[in-house]
Amino acid sequence: MMQKDRRILVINPNSNEVVTGGLDEALDPFKTAGVAIECMTLSNGPFGIEKQADIEAVTLPLRDLVQERGDVDCFVIACYSDPGIHVCREATDTTVLGIQECGVLAALARGEKFGVIAIQEASIRRHLRYLRQMDVMARLAAERAANLTVAQSASGNETFGRLIEVGRDLRDNDGADTIILGCAGMASHRAGLEAELGVPVIDPVQAAVASALGIVLLL
């Protein structure tokens, strides 16, 4: 049987092409499954998404995008705050996945209590609001900030050292037995951090694309 062409579209809502390139690389392992995995940059997004205003700025552009792209079988919004997820779901019958949702759910399948490493202190309050909305707070060990800039978060040894520090804190003091990287651009550190901490470390974009594959492969 000739297989139809299927496609997952991973949208980086910020306009930083380097981040999009990193996503693309992080998703290489998933490209063997016969499903196209396309990473694109939301050209009119802000350079980084750090504040609530950045989130609001991308919701309708994301909505427009999911409406335009009729060739896609599953959308993944690759920003940890899951911007625009509800308006995108309203706008299309195609499945739209958020990486915070998928990252948390992936953690719940592998441990009792998840910890989250946020890039910035200021994001935690917003993330916790979302976790309350998901009604999963009882399974949260803690969310702690690495206090890196988004740029720093995507590269560098200093970053890795800081992730290890925060990860150990979550594991040893908060009782986390899984760790979620609370940002779209840290996948390159995942395996190393997992080796260092000895507990599953989850990159939320990879988690979301795995969920997307689980849906798209059945179409």
Q: Judged by CB, which is closer to a copy of itself: 17, or 90?
A: 90
- Give the nearest distance from C-beta 4 to a copy of itself in angstroms: 12
Binding mask 113-132 for a copy of itself (x = CB under 8 A): ------------xx-xxx-x
Which of 36, 40, 91, 145 binds a copy of itself (CB under 8 A)? It is: 91
| Residue 182 DSSP code | E
- Please give the Cα distance from 13 to 33 (Å, whole number): 25
- Please give the Cα distance from 43 to 50 (Å, whole number): 17
| 86 near a copy of itself (CB under 8 A) | yes
Which of 2, 70, 138, 195 binds a copy of itself (CB under 8 A)? It is: 138
- Please give the Cα distance from 177 to 198 (Å, whole number): 9
Which of 33, 36, 151, 164 binds a copy of itself (CB under 8 A)? It is: 33
- For the sheet with 36-41, list strands across it: 36-41, 7-12, 74-77, 95-98
**Which of 9, 201, 23 lies closest to 116, judged by CA?**
201
Spatial contact of 33 and 213, defined as CB atoms under 8 Å apart: yes
Binding site for a copy of itself (CB under 8 A): 3, 29-30, 32-34, 51-53, 55-57, 59-60, 63, 84, 86-87, 89-91, 95, 97-98, 101-102, 105-106, 108-110, 112, 125-126, 128-130, 132-139, 177, 190-191, 200, 206-207, 209-211, 213-215, 217-218
